[in-house]
Amino acid sequence: MLNLPTETTALRSKLTEAESIATVDRIQFCLVSTSFTSELILTSYVCDDNHKIDSTTPILLLHGFDSSLLEFRRLIPKLALSHQTWAMDLFGFGLTERLANGQVSPESIKEHLYYFWKTAIAKPIVLVGASMGGAAAIDFALTYPEVVQKLVLIGSAGIRKGTAAGKFLVPPLDRIATDFLRSPKVRREVSLKAYADPKFVTADAEVCASLHLAMPRWSDALISFTKSGGYGSFAKQLQHLQQETLILWGDRDRILGTKDAVKFQSAIPNNKLIWIEQSGHVPHLERPTITAREILKFI
């Protein structure tokens, strides 16, 4: 069993779906060194390398806002049939360690991601980002084009301008905001909006979406990221993307809508847009077989 907070471990015992249990039980940790802190960052990840596929390009999956690698629990086994598949928790999120004085921002997320890649993978990758993870993937691909061989964006953020509201999130409003986000009722409402089909909002899914809430300094990291301004628009930079890019979008996305998909298609030089039918904001959870098939076909 992982050395996790008691509340997190207790939640893990409530998982009922085989893919959820298998993903949690495969979580590993490595120490990542960065320039923005003298501390080593204990970083959580999974790697499905049972098949020892060394000749293929590894796939690295990046999760969305206030989420974790568990959102790829249904996608990983399908991708791993032919490619070594990694998923990691970004700095400030998931089960990755949150530092007492570590500012969580797009820049620190990008640097931590680079050094995780350098420590654990160290070869060119196919980078897959979902929602906020898509914005992180775009930022990373623009900065480290030699690392990212191909890019996949799933219901991606990064085309709209950010908001400056976070800079005015002062105490006690910051704690009130995170307490609101921690509410099971609020999290359930977000989940119901993220899926096209409400039947996917199961008790198991709600546990998966809440495992990281018990991590030390969860509120601090979320507040820090929000105050940094988070990810803004890469609209002007997208023309400089060197990688062939696959855009996957749920045709019933109620979180970001569907217009952003077309904007990405217009802005990225070498891309292909695929609509995932009867899917909301998380096609990798609602339609994992189709999503995996399109990613592997693209690769």
Which domains does the chain possess? Answer: 6-298 (3.40.50.1820)
Q: What is the pLDDT of residues 90-146, one digit of tens each?
A: 999 999 999 998 899 999 999 999 999 999 999 999 999 999 999 999 999 999 999
Q: What is the pLDDT of residues 189-219, one digit of tens each?
A: 999 999 999 999 999 999 999 999 989 999 9
Specify burial of residue 22 (Cβ count, 10 A radius: 0-12, 13-18, 19+).
middle
What DSSP element (H or E) covers 112? helix 106-120
What is the pTM for the complete model shown? 0.95
Annotation says 220 is catalytic: no
Please tell me which residue in 66, 89, 253, 260 is annotated as part of the active site: 253
Mean per-residue pLDDT of the chain: 93
Q: In sequence order, what are the residues at sequence separation of 6 or more whose Cβ sits closer than 8 angstroms to the Cβ of residue 258?
A: 249, 251
Annotation says 191 is catalytic: no
| pLDDT band with cut points at 50, 70 and 90 for residue 2 | very low
Please tell me which residue in 68, 105, 131, 279 is annotated as part of the active site: 131
Q: How many helices (H) and strands (E) does the chain have?
A: 12, 8
d(Cα 109, Cα 223) in Å, to the nearest integer? 15
Annotation says 253 is catalytic: yes
d(Cα 199, Cα 205) in Å, to the nearest integer? 10
Q: What is the pLDDT of residues 239-278, one digit of tens each?
A: 999 999 999 999 999 999 999 999 999 999 999 999 999 9
Half-sphere exposure (Cβ direction) of 272: Cα atoms closer than 13 Å: 12
For position 1, what pLDDT does the model report? 40
Q: In sequence order, what are the residues at sequence separation of 6 or more whose Cβ sits closer than 8 angstroms to the Cβ of residue 234?
A: 135, 138, 139, 142, 158, 159
